[in-house]
Every structure is written in C-alpha cells, then in structure tokens.
Structure 1
Amino acid sequence: MSNHQSIFSPRYFALSIGIILSVMAVGFEGLSVTTIAPSIAGDLNGIDLFGWIFSTYLLAQIIGTLVVGRIIDRKGPAAPFTFALLLFIVGLIVAATASDMYIMILARAMQGLGAGAMMTCVYTAISLSYPDELRAKILGAFGTAYVLPSMIGPYVAGLIADQWSWRFVFWGILPILVLSALLSLPAFRKLKTQGTQGDNGAAATWMALLLTIGTGIFLVGLSMLPVITGLILVIIGLVLMVYPLRKLLPKGTLSLRRGMPAILATRGLFFAAYASTQNFLVLALINVKGITPSQAGLIVASAALSWCLIAYLQGLWDSADQGRGRHTRITLGVLLLAIGIAFVFWVPVVTVTVAVIGQIIAGIGIGLAHPISGVVAFSQTGEEGVGKTSANLQFADSFTPGVVIGIGGSILVICQAAGMTMQSGLIVAMGFHLLLIVMSLISSTRIRPAN
C-alpha cells in the first residue's frame, strides 16, 4: 500500500467519518450526563438514586461489551452494530422523555448496553477494514474523537440545561447518530468474520451477567465504606468478579502474562489511572485550591489537547518506522503518564502551572500508549478472534476506570472517617493511581509475545 494512503481516502472516507461520529456521540453523551445529572435527579425527584445514573450505565456496558464480542466472531459485526445503534437511540429518546427516575435508570441501562456493543463493533471494523499501517492513524482519530467532547461536552451540556432543559442534551445527540449510521452501515454490511464456533456464547453471556452482578455489589459496598456491611459487600463482589474475569479475559491477564494478556492489563491499568486522576484532580483544584469549576475544566482540557496532538503524530511515526517502535512507544507513554500523575500527586504544592504541566505530560503519555496498544493487540489477533479482542479493548477502556474511580471515592470517604482532611485523602487517592501506573509500566515490558 502506498504511504500516501489515508484513512480519509475514498475507500475509507465514509467508514472513517461514521466511526468518528459514533465515538463522538457516545463520548459527548457520557460526559454531558456528568454535568446535567444533578438537574435530572432534582427534576425527577430522585436524589436518592443519583449514583445509579452512572452505575447502571457502567454495569450495562459490561454486558454489551462482552456479549457482543462473541456474537461478532460468529456472525460478523453488521447486525450487532445496527442493533446497538438502535438501542442507544431508543435509550436517548426514553431519557429525553423520562417522567421519573426509574425510567431514566432504564434509559441509562439501554444506553450502556448500546454504547458497549457499538464501541466493540467499531474496534472490530477497524481491525477488519484497515490495513496494519493505517490502524495507528484511525485509532488515533478514534481517541481524538473520544477526547474532544471532554473539552466542550460538559460546558455545552450545562449551557443547554441552563438555557432550555437537560432533555435537549439527549435530543441533540440523535442527529449525530443518524448521520453516523447512514455513513457507516453500508461498510459494516460488507465486513465478514471467520464465523468461529469455538467460544460458547451462552457461557460467555452468563459470565458477563455474573461479572455485572459482582461489580454492582462491589460498587454498592464501596459506597457504604467504612461501615462493616460495606466491607462485606466489597468482599462478596470481589469474589463474584474474579471468576468471570478469569474466564472472559485471555488466560494470564490478571498475572500479566506475556503477549495479549499483558497488553490488556497494561491498557486497563494506565487508562483507569488516567481517568480517575482527572476526576480527583478537578476535585482537588475546586475543593482544596479554591479554583472555579470552569478554570478546573480548562486545566484538565490541556491533557485532552496534548492527547489529540500526539495521537495524530504517533500515526505518522508509526508509518515512518513501519511499526518497529510500537512497544517502545507504549512503555514511554506509560512512563510519561507516571510523570504527569506525579506532578499532581502532592496536592499541597499543586498550583495552576504545576497542574497544567502535569496534565500536558499525562496527555502526551496517553496519546502515545492508548492508540498503539490497540494496534499491537490487533496485530497479535487472528481474524477469527477479532470480535473478542475488540470486546477486550473496550472492556479495558470502560470497566477498569469505573471500578478504580469507585475505589478512589471510597478512599476519600475512609480517610475522612479516620479524621483526615480532604487534602490528605486526595493525596492517598493519587498515590493509589501512581501504584496502578507502576503496575502498568511493569506490564508494558511484557507485551511482546514469548518466543
């Protein structure tokens, strides 16, 4: 293939734009809900169910991600992608017209199922449609499409909610999804997999359900800590989570085995540490440093900007060295993430300048590591297992951050119950993120398959 081939050349244009739009729609919706959730809970008289606006989405996303990966490997991605799009669209409509909190939670479940399945199908389309030399570029664009909403999504959603109603946020996403469907569905219908029957789809579905139940119990337990009932629920949840995780993920993922298991472990750990750090840095800047929410948002957006820039450049670097530097770039990216998080670890010395520098470095790190880890994963996957690999990548991007953010929240609660200040609790939480990054760095040295 010519080095001048582009993800926006005529052959790939419709699929590339369709993928980017679908990712932007899911990213914008997810981040917008963070801003409008208090208004939703207030209008629907459901403050006591506030947390389930987010938890339900995450739990449903687990099922949508893991189950659809097996379906793709047996029947191809076209039908699952169509169904996922429709489910997400119906979820948006139900949310926009919700009359009480229970209907909103149902809508969030539909959105989570649809989003998990959609993103898994998108990863599959990337693996099947683009040659190896273009995957770094499309995955870089994928990352950019997911990051860009983080810069404008919360602000735009808040503006819409203030000027009109939070319901218009859900309505506004519909046209983007419809356009995405028109562009990408014709390309999806042409994609075929090997139709492997080696994986027991029913067993995988039950494992996904068990993992969802275990994760739900775990998150509920975390929210109750340090009460003894919460600790018991956390232990029960962990026990229920470990078995399905060992069955659903490649063998050796939890022990950082070389090759694909180490790739997924590396990605899950660094992405969780990055996402959770973003959340708690905003909390530190607002509650400890007295910075306004809009200023804190701009500081966090500096990471998104450097992520977007490096995600674009690493596609060029990948073409220049024909993929020979991929493993090095992943490890370097994780190392830069560690440095970026270390900048904001010691909350008492964090100033606006220090926070911006740390965020820019962290953005460079994840811009290097995130797209290329996907490219490396697909390079180690045969066509018959592309759906499963796609599901595993999406799982690393959604499940692990959700759990780690929950753990970080419980760390704050426990620290405050022990008489520590918010500042001290945030330092402990940031220390936990640094520990995850160190584990990811160790795992990144094992991503080359064993000879």
Structure 2
Amino acid sequence: MTSVEVTIVTTALPSIISQLRGLSFQSWIMSSYLLTTAITTPIYGKLADAWGRKPVFEFGLLLFTVGSFLSGFAPNIFFLIIARCIQGIGAGAVIPLTFTIIADLYSFKERARIMAFMNTAWGLSALIGPLLGGFLVDNLSWHWVFFVNVPLGILVLLVIIVGYHEEHSIKTITDIDKLGIVFLSLSLLLLLGGIQLLSTHLINGVIIVIIAIICAALFLIFEKKAKDPIIPITMFSNRTFSIQVLTATLLSSILIGYQTYFPIWLQSLYHVPATASGLVVTSSSLMWLFSSFFVGPLLGKFSPKKIILVIVLIQFLSYLPLLFLKTTSPDWIFYIIAAISGAGMGIIISMNIILCQHLVNAKQVGSATAIITLGRSLGPTVMTGVYGATLNILIQTNLNNVSYSQVNKIISSTNTTFGKNNFEIEQIILHALHGVFGIAIFLYVIILIANLFDPNKKTIN
C-alpha cells in the first residue's frame, strides 16, 4: 500500500502543482509525508517492543487511511500538506514494522528470500500505481489518486486483524527518551524548514539550518546519556553497520529524486501524458523486484563492499547523461536510467536491511531496523527539500522576462497552451532539472567513497 502511495502520487504531482498553484511549495507535498514518517519511526519502534507489533501496526494503518481520505479533499496546497503529514505519521508505523515482523519470524538465511517475495508485492503495486495514477489524472482528477488508498487501507486492516496473530505481553514504558524525541523532532523540522527557505529567504534559511545542526548535536549528547535511547548510538561503533545505514540513506535520497523529477521532466518538457510518464517509475520498480531475488546468492559469494562498489559505479555512470540531455533528446533514456537505478537498489537496499539486522544482537534487531528505516525516510525527507530548493532557485535565477506563474503553468502535462515564451520557459525548467540531478550524481560519489572505507572484505554468513 505504501509503494502504491509513492508511485501514484509522483505521477500526479505535476497536475497537483499546477492546479493548486503550488510550485513554490511542491517539495512539501512529498517531504511533509516523509518528515512525519521519519520522526515517528523510532517512536513506533519503542512502542512495538512494549505493546506488540500488531496493535501499533493497526494504529498506523488507520492513520494512513484517514490521511489519504483527507488528502483527496484538499482544496488548497496547505490543506494537502497537513493531510500528507497525517499520512506520514501512519506510514511511520507501517513501513518499519513490516521489516521487524519479518526479522521476528525468519532466520538470516531465510530473510533474503522473504524480502524478495515482499518486493514482488512492491513490484506489482508499483506497476499498478503509475498506470492507475496516470489514468485517474488524465480521465478524472488528481484527487482520486488519494481516494484509491482508502479501500486499500480498509482491506489491509482486515487482512491484519484476521490473518496476523502474535503473543505479546504488554509492558509498561517507564524510561521514555523524551529529550531524544524532542531534539530529534526539532532537528528534522528545522532542517527541512530551513532548506525550504533557502530558495526564498537565504539568510533566514541558513540560520534555521544552523539551529537544526545544534539541535542534532544536542540529540547525540542526550542519546549517549539516556537509559533507553530512542536511537542507540553504540550500534554505530560497528563501521560496516554505519556504512550500510549511510548507503541506504543516500540511495533512498536518489530514489525520491528520480521518482519525483523524472515524471516532471517528461510531462513538462516532452508533454508526455501522466499515464506514460508514470511508467518511468514502473520500470524502476519492476527491476527492483527482479534483482532482489539475487541478494541471497550474491551475499553468499561476494563481500557487501564489493557488491555495492560495482553496482553503484554502474548507477553513477548511467546518471551522467542527465547533465547533458536537451529537450530534443529521446525520452526512452529516462526509462533505461530508471531501470538501471531500480535494479541496483533492489539488491543494495535489500542487502542493507538484512545486514543491519544481522550485525547486531537479537535484542537490538528492532532498533537496528528502526535506524535503517529512519535513514531511508530521513534521507529523502531532507533531499526532497534540497531538490525543491535547487529547482526553485535555478528557475528564479533564470526567469529574465518570464513570470514565475508562466513556468508554474507549463510544468503540467495537462497544459495545452503554446505561447511565444514556451521555448524559453522549457530551457529554464531544463536547466533547473540539470541542477537537481547534478546533486544526485554527487550523492553517488559520496556512497562510493564511504564504501571504500568499509573494513569488511569477506562474505557474511
């Protein structure tokens, strides 16, 4: 259900931006969802350890469904952002507890196979999501891309109530890491808010980002002293564990980049219908599905370090053409790049999760899962703001005689008006998109450098 959420919304994003006149707030449509997911993920992890997985999962699922319902009724961009926050609070329980339940039920050798089966469900929903999203946008309206989650949410809730059973004695939570929760939330909120302001109020944005960094430093200090920290810092003493978390975080940051901006690129510059542009996300998801079945065999033959370095290098090389594409370049290039990215991420991110659970003791599996899930939410949350700020800054810098409202109108695939400034506007958008994917390429470089320092050169069994 959460994979349908991502693919179906990114397909409809250009129409949402255009109709709600929300180009300047476009990054918040995704980042508000990701931010609340990131903040609540470790909190739900603690609650699930005390109260059991099932009731916490059901609560998150209910919130996600309510948030989807409210998003569909959004009359303006600000209402939509608030509704997306509610969705994210629910997803903060659904996503990590899925992996935690898998770790509870299966051994290390079995998890790769089970993760591949779970990716099958992800691949099927990712195939349906863009097609359904594009169909709804082209034939009804973008509101329906949120309404479709409501019956899905009800169905999943019934499946969990009837089909999943666990025996868990409810424990009283005595040592709640209140300071950790407060400073984690503050640092994330301020960081995203500051990044968003960089495109409109540079000095204020920089000040808020600095305050966010101070809050993050205080969070680390309090976590070291807490009796029951919300994020056990001691886990990061294992360098391989730390590199796995960093890799998953940055790859997820790249993932949200092409999921969001490939459809925008295709719809605004190539005038591809929403349905067809959504297939670029589908190609990535299907390759993710197929490649995930190779995780187990690869881990049995090669070290994680070697696997990651080879795959990321291929992904990096596939991204380089994005810096030089023109409006006349063939659109099939995007589908190839997305497929290569998806194939690599299907192997690496699945491997990251399995290894992080394997590298800690049994009592810390829940926390380890929460940490890597937090990274996979936090990275896209921050980078969505960075991508959005980059896009807005580069558009505003190159406007010249073109108004911002004209760019806002052209960016939707439903636009059929061709004025005298269209070519100039398309070049402005193209230049801004080059900047966005220049940042993604830089993230690949960081991943490569980080994994060169992984001390483990042996296979992990």
How far apart are 1:40 and its partner, in Å? 6.6
What is the Cα deviation at residue 390 of structure 1? 1.9
2:291 aligned counterpart, secondary structure: helix
- Quote the Cα distance in structure 2 between the aligned partners of 1:449 and 1:71: 33
Q: In 2 relative to 1, CA 56–396 (structure 1 residues): closer, same or farther, beyond 3 Å?
A: same
The one-character-per-residue Cα deviations of 1:94-135 (angstroms, maximum 9, x if unpaired) are: 445567766544432221101111111111101111121221
Q: Which amino acid in structure 1 is aligned with residue 84 of structure 2?
A: R
Deviation for aligned residue 1:445: 4.0
**2:362 is matched with which residue?**
383
1:406/1:105 Cα in 2 relative to 1: closer, same or farther (>3 Å)? closer
Match of 2:239 in 1: 258
CA deviation profile, 1:168-198 (whole Å, cap 9, x unmatched): 4444323333333343456754265997989
CA shift digits 1:254-308 (9 cap, x unpaired): 9x96122111011111221233144334444454566555554334433233222
SS at match of 1:224: coil
Structure 1 match to 2:255: 274
Give per-residue Cα distances to partners, 1:296-350, cap 9 Å, x unaligned: 43344332332221113334x25xx647654433333322322222243332495
- CA shift, 1:378, in A, is 0.9
Whether 1:111 aligns to 2:111 is no
- Map 1:179-218 → 2, pairs under 5 A: 179-185=155-161, 189-190=165-166, 200-218=176-194
Q: How many residues align?
A: 422
Residue 121 of structure 1 aligns with which residue? 97
1: CA distance, partners of 2:374 / 2:314: 23
Q: Which residue of 2 aligns with 1:351?
A: 330
Q: Residue in 2 aligned with 1:16?
A: none
1:90 aligns with 2:66: yes
- Contact 2:29–2:84 under 8 Å retained in 1: yes
Q: 2: distance between equivalents of 1:222 and 1:193?
A: 48
Identical columns (%): 26
Residue among 385, 389, 394 paired with 2:373: 394
- Shift in CA distance, 163/411, structure 1 to aligned 2, threshold 3 Å: closer
In the alignment, the residues of structure 1 paired with residue 268 and residue 319 of structure 2 have an alpha-carbon distance, to the nearest angstrom, of 19
Distance (whole Å) between structure 2 residues aligned to residue 194 and residue 377 of structure 1: 27
Q: Which residue does the alignment assign to 1:13?
A: none
Q: Please say if residues 222 and 231 of structure 1, whose CA atoms lie closer than 8 Å, have aligned partners that are also in contact.
A: yes
Partner of 1:339: 317
Cα distance in structure 2, aligned partners of 1:406 and 1:139: 30
Which of 276, 293, 299 in structure 2 is aligned with 1:312? 293
**8 A contact 2:193–2:205 mirrored in 1:** no
Residue 278 to residue 164, structure 1, CA distance change in 2 (3 Å)? closer
Match of 1:130 among 95, 106, 110: 106
Structure 1 residue 428, shift from structure 2 partner: 3.2
Deviation at 1:243, TM superposition (A): 4.3
Q: Quick check: 2:31–2:382 contact (8 Å CA) kept in 1?
A: no
- Cα distance between partner residues in 2 of 1:419 and 1:169: 33
Does structure 2 conserve the Cα–Cα contact (< 8 Å) formed by 1:344 and 1:358?
Answer: no
Name 1:12's counterpart in structure 2.
none
CA contact (8 A) 1:257 1:446 kept: no
Map of 1:415 onto structure 2:
394
1:41–1:47 Cα contact (<8 Å) kept? yes
**Offset of residue 30 of structure 1:** 3.4
State the alpha-carbon separation in 1 of the partners of residues 103 and 203 from structure 2: 47
Unpaired stretches in structure 1, ≥5 consecutive residues:
1-24
Does 1:32 pair with 2:8? yes
Residues 42 and 307 of structure 1: is their aligned pair in 2 closer, same or farther, counting only changes over 3 Å? Answer: closer
Superposition map of 1:137-216 within 5 A: 137-161=113-137, 163-164=139-140, 166-185=142-161, 189-190=165-166, 200-216=176-192
Q: What is the CA–CA distance in structure 2 between the aligned matches of 1:95 and 1:160, rounded to whole Å?
A: 15
Counterpart residue number, 1:229: 204
Gap change, CA 1:61 and 1:223, over 3 Å in 2? farther
In structure 1, what residue type is equivalent to 2:443? L
Distance (whole Å) between structure 1 residues aligned to residue 39 and residue 217 of structure 2: 16
How far 1:210 moved relative to its partner? Answer: 1.6
TM-score (norm 2): 0.76
Gaps of 5+ in 2: 224-229, 400-427
Letter in 1 for 2:380: P
Residues 127-164 of structure 1 show CA distances to partners (whole Å, capped at 9, x for unaligned) of 11112122112223334434544443244134335545
CA distance in 1, matches of 2:69, 2:217: 36
**Alpha-carbon distance, 1:394 to partner:** 1.8
Taking the aligned partners of 1:153 and 1:209, their CA distance within structure 2 comes to 31
Contact 2:195 2:205 in 1 (8 A): no
Higher relative contact order (CA 8 A, sep 6+): 2
Give the TM-score normalised by the residue count of structure 1.
0.78
1:440-451 to 2 correspondences below 5 Å: 440-447=447-454
1:167 Cα deviation from its structure 2 partner: 4.9
Aligned with 2:343 (options 364, 368, 383): 364
CA distance in 2, matches of 1:286, 1:39: 10
Q: CA separation of 1:345/1:363 partners in 2, compared to 1, >3 Å: closer, same or farther?
A: farther
- Distance in 2, Cα, partners of 1:283 & 1:46: 14
Query: Quick check: 1:408–1:429 contact (8 Å CA) kept in 2?
Result: yes
1:399/1:351 CA distance change after superposition, 3 Å: same
**Aligned-partner Cα distance in 1 for 2:362–2:170:** 7
* Aligned Cα root-mean-square deviation (Å): 3.8
Give the AA of the match of 1:113: I
Q: Which residue in the other structure is 2:402 paired with?
A: none
